[in-house]
Chain A
């Protein structure tokens, strides 16, 4: 059997026939490939690779952008505006006077950033994300992020908690006049900065931290949480906003706020020892300052 195979010498007819059949098969294969490409295959592959680029964009967005613009693109108070609302898709280009498409606008802002504090309401500049401009991302990654953001256009999110960017006219309106701080409260504000609270918490005009919950409306939030079912079920014992703030600093595990810039707040991230490291008098000033945030005018 093996000997037969090994000494096989195809006859002339076999050679010509096999050669002809191969030749026809090659032509046929090329035609199949060509016809497939010219009818459906190119667009099928196009859809496949286009959608895989969106997947890649989603990954980069979640790593880099969701911190300020939210995982659902709804925007985060004090951090960044919504990227998924119909307002964003319909009006943004006109509002900012961009002379091209929304895709290129998103790409331009993401790549080169917004260098001036052109929006006093937001109090943030947009950092440049392109590696050539000192950012962490390659151009193709940013292009994929643009694809991902534009993919919201088919079903924009317009729920009530969407944070819209200010309108052009409003953007230059003065910040809401803050309650004048007392000397003790000023000291409390400095303690907020010197103890590093600003690394994780945001206060409009003071700090941009995006790890812990935003403190913009702390007083209002405190009232809300104290009254909530979640709080009653937790170890929290506060009855007034001041007590609530003190408890959050001294015993941060007592109650974990469910809303953080990057989704649910994780437990055990806030250091539990501020009660020991901050002297009692300073702690009072800090709480005095923090309780002015979001406190309704009297």
Chain B
């Protein structure tokens, strides 16, 4: 018998079974929490005032996870303002992404022949597969938003100023990492949406002078995205960027603890940083207050995400990637719309009148080999990030007070407005007010795209299968096909869309001629498969009669009807 066993026996002999086991369990528990006994933890969770001496300080010196966290915060930063908990939430979403990402990794192969089939398997064969994918996807979108907002609030409260310049710097690195993480993950489902979004994204790199084609080749592994590109994006997504992210999160958070969370600007003497000099009466201990606070916010974020994923959110999965067919209205991911908007600026100096700007473009193209796309997309686009990196170093104002920072705040506001404007220009329909960025096709193809998009769902595709009455139905406001209310409704909608395009020109000046007619033709292909075609007869710009036809096949059980 071992020595420990003897002692245990001795203890049982002297104090009895119950108390011995209870004490042994408590000992183990205390070792696990690095200094807090079971009763201490209960006290924390009950919100009891700290006993003296305070055992809740001990984990901060004894344990790994707690030594990362400060022992106490300044009371002023524990309210919603000034942090809004956005840094915490970024970390929460990053963690969710890692957990759900590892789950998805188990079922995924980064090869063009397998990737899409794996996606279908995850959705149709793996319990929790769809849920995990939704969480991963929505969490990624949320993370981009939260990280961006975190940066906006840091800028607004002036928290990037001395001594936190480097914290800001690592933060911008993390923003870039977040964007690239999200972007590199975009390709992995290998559907049309991801394939073309990433093709557009990497084409921007390709356009860069001198090093562009090389960077493009390194990213894609070939002139076009294929097996090499998919593997590279996968490795970037699961190894490179998470690694950079984790390292920079460590540095970032070390700096946050080192200098403390900056106080609200109005509480600070100008040019001084007193976040670390917390008077004893302003201290809020990490245990229990900050810890419970953080668990609450993390829990709410997680719960909102999980409930969203079982209720309204479904991560899209389009048809298999097809390098030979570009869907209409292909776009980059939404957080790169602004970059797409930049690419649509027609001239290098767009404020000049057209002919002069055009002549200057000629000049730049001939002398420097610089086209507007290269200038705006490749030189100015990345400059945005250079500008963000430089913010603490170009702002000499020591004051963090809002009133003292009118220039910088105005600059920030204009910058944000510009990004929003460019983002609007980045989507195919362009900016509603000015029409800038509109890239529509001819009116008939736009009508077809509206009701029967190349990817995704349109009204014509969501008609219930039994209401798709075989035959050719003229498009009119009072369509009256028996037993097909939804079909009639869609026929009327197509009619109104046509009338709209007959009455008003699109931003390119294209209109539909007043005599144009349309019909919807439905054919039975197989008992549970129908073909639905939209046929538009119109006059083209040369006054020649043309027929535009676009069709889709709809299966009875395709789950589109609603």
- Given contacts A18-B300, A29-B310, A48-B558, are A155 and B527 in contact (CB under 8 A)? yes
Chain A's closest residue to B48 (CB) is: A12
Kindly identify which residue among B288, B295, B526, B559 contacts A47, using a CB–CB cutoff of 8 Å.
B559
B404 CB within 8 Å of chain A = no
Kindly identify which residue among A37, A52, A71 contacts B130, using a CB–CB cutoff of 8 Å.
A37
B529 CB within 8 Å of chain A = yes
The answer to whether A55 touches B310, judged by C-beta atoms less than 8 angstroms apart, is no
Number of B residues, CB within 8 Å of A: 49
The answer to whether B127 touches A37, judged by C-beta atoms less than 8 angstroms apart, is yes
The answer to whether A7 touches B80, judged by C-beta atoms less than 8 angstroms apart, is yes
Number of A residues, CB within 8 Å of B: 54
A41 CB within 8 Å of chain B = yes
The answer to whether A22 touches B303, judged by C-beta atoms less than 8 angstroms apart, is yes
- Given contacts A26-B306, A58-B553, are A12 and B299 in contact (CB under 8 A)? no
B 119-158 binary contact with A (CB < 8 Å = 1; else 0): 0100111011111000000000000000000000000000
B 79-92 binary contact with A (CB < 8 Å = 1; else 0): 11100000000000
The answer to whether B310 touches A32, judged by C-beta atoms less than 8 angstroms apart, is yes
Residues 285-325 of B contacting A (Cβ, < 8 Å) = 288-289, 292-293, 295-296, 299-300, 302-303, 306-307, 309-310, 319-320, 322
Which residues on B sit within 8 Å (CB–CB) of A44? 559
**Complex: A51 Cα to B131 Cα, angstroms:** 21
Chain A's closest residue to B552 (CB) is: A55
**Complex: A275 Cα to B370 Cα, angstroms:** 56
The answer to whether A49 touches B79, judged by C-beta atoms less than 8 angstroms apart, is no
**Complex: A38 Cα to B129 Cα, angstroms:** 11
**Complex: A30 Cα to B129 Cα, angstroms:** 11
- Given contacts A42-B127, A58-B525, A151-B528, are A140 and B116 in contact (CB under 8 A)? yes
Closest beta carbon of chain B to A137's beta carbon, Å: 10
Chain A's closest residue to B301 (CB) is: A22
**Complex: A52 Cα to B455 Cα, angstroms:** 12
A19 CB within 8 Å of chain B = yes
B556 CB within 8 Å of chain A = yes
The answer to whether B319 touches A18, judged by C-beta atoms less than 8 angstroms apart, is no
Residues 253-298 of A contacting B (Cβ, < 8 Å) = none
Chain B's closest residue to A3 (CB) is: B81
Residues 53-80 of A contacting B (Cβ, < 8 Å) = 54-56, 58-59, 71-72
Closest beta carbon of chain A to B283's beta carbon, Å: 14
Other A-B contacts than A14-B296, A51-B559, 19 sampled, CB-CB below 8 A, are: A12-B292, A15-B293, A16-B45, A22-B296, A23-B299, A26-B303, A29-B303, A34-B128, A34-B131, A38-B127, A45-B130, A51-B528, A51-B556, A51-B557, A54-B555, A55-B555, A56-B320, A148-B526, A154-B526
